[in-house]
Amino acid sequence: MTGHAELLASTGFDPEFADGARNAVNNCLRVDRGEKVTLITDEACLEIGASLAAELARLDIAYNAWILERLAPRPLASMPGEVLDDMESSQVSIFVVKAQRNELGSRMQMTDVVNRRRMRHAHMVNIEPRIMLEGMRADFEAVDRISTAVWKMASQAREIRATNPAGTDILARFSPSLKWLKTSGIISPHKWGNLPGGETFTTPETVNGVFVVDGVVGDYLCEKYGDLKATPLTLDIRDSRLVSARSANKELEAEFWQYCHTDENSDRAGEFAIGTNIGVRDVIGNILQDEKIPGIHVAFGNPYGAHTGADWYSATHIDVVGRRFDIWIDGLKIMQDGAFLLDHLTPAGL
């Protein structure tokens, strides 16, 4: 162990975190004893990072740990070189931090290494104790079965329609040249994933309609505004571009609009996703878990083109999540009021 591993090893943590940490290391990342892990955390997530370090130590797995504030001031202008250098000799990386404004670029530096080296990477941005006790305790084998079934259907889809009681009514169309991916919590070298996992997604060809965000918005705005059920954000989308954003919360409205106009593609729908984590029941005000709720979420900005095949780029990426969706894939209803219609999914491999 080098870096800050000894400090992390001496940090106490809630023993209730142990189940989630064991799930992450054993079931999601499937770390082998002969592998090396880069564990990156920060002061805000120190106890959760310590629980993961304890699980690695319990299994006698080699790891180096890094605490971001001890390497560079936050928010990070770039990912510290010590972290990036250490990743060059690791097969697995775990990123357990609280997001700060304007740090997306530093995270992209890290995932560039992950993508290039085909590492198994767990992205746990904004992880909090409640998620360790809820979403991280999911049966990820079951989540993977549902995710695979949805992925098979979506990969053949020409269009998906989604509605919800808050007023969402969107129609997305898809190109065969843009790949669907699943991040079910079972992480492979082919695509790093958020933990807790549970979604399948692509870059849409086009999205049109109204999306009422009565769940949460992503990035650093999530912590600031939390659950939007009482003051939803209504988004009008035309030809995949955000054309208006309206909310009774005018500060949210203005800040979201500003975020989505950071660069020329910040207002473009770069992700269309179906949440598949059946262990997640409702919004908690944290995008890391909330985007995995069975339903639809959309993100404006970066399309993760290295994975989907999209040929455009944005320096920003912000998710929007709603509640209680009905979903139709090429006219076949696969979800009603936020619950999968599993009979429809069975032929696809559930």
Query: For residues 43 and 187, what is the distance between their CA atoms, to the nearest angstrom?
Result: 26
Could you read off the pLDDT of 52-64 as tens digits, one per residue? 999 999 999 999 9
341 contacts: CB under 8 Å, gap ≥ 6:
333, 334, 335
Query: For residues 317 and 259, what is the distance between their CA atoms, to the nearest angstrom?
Result: 9
Over range 201-207, report the average pLDDT. 98
DSSP H helical segments within 203-245, as ranges? 221-225
Q: What is the DSSP string of 44-64?
A: GGHHHHHHHHHHHHHTT-EEE
Instruction: Give the containing element (helix H, strand E) for 40.
Output: strand 36-41
Q: Does domain 5-135 have CATH number 3.40.50.300?
A: no
**pTM check: above 0.85:** no
Q: What are phi and psi of 289, to 5 degrees?
A: -90, -40
Pairing state of beta strands 36-41 and 62-67?
A: parallel
Over range 96-123, report the average pLDDT. 95
Query: For residues 250 and 159, what is the distance between their CA atoms, to the nearest angstrom?
Result: 33
Query: For residues 68 and 136, what is the distance between their CA atoms, to the nearest angstrom?
Result: 23
322 against 306, higher pLDDT: 322
CATH 3.40.50.980 residue ranges of the chain are: 5-135
Query: For residues 186 and 236, what is the distance between their CA atoms, to the nearest angstrom?
Result: 34
288 against 173, higher pLDDT: 173
What is the reported pLDDT for 250? 98
Pick from 15-24, 182-191, 194-203, 232-241: least confident: 182-191
Instruction: Give the containing element (helix H, strand E) for 150.
Output: helix 140-155
Choose among 174, 107, 183: nearest CA to 329.
Answer: 174
- 126, HSE (Cβ side, Cα atoms, 13 Å): 22
* Residues 20, 51 contacting (CB under 8 angstroms): yes
What is the reported pLDDT for 349? 41
Whole-number percent of the chain with pLDDT over 90: 90
What is the reported pLDDT for 340? 95
Choose among 124, 241, 134: nearest CA to 183.
Answer: 124
* Residues 174, 204 contacting (CB under 8 angstroms): yes
Could you read off the pLDDT of 41-50 as tens digits, one per residue? 999 999 999 9
* Residues 28, 195 contacting (CB under 8 angstroms): yes
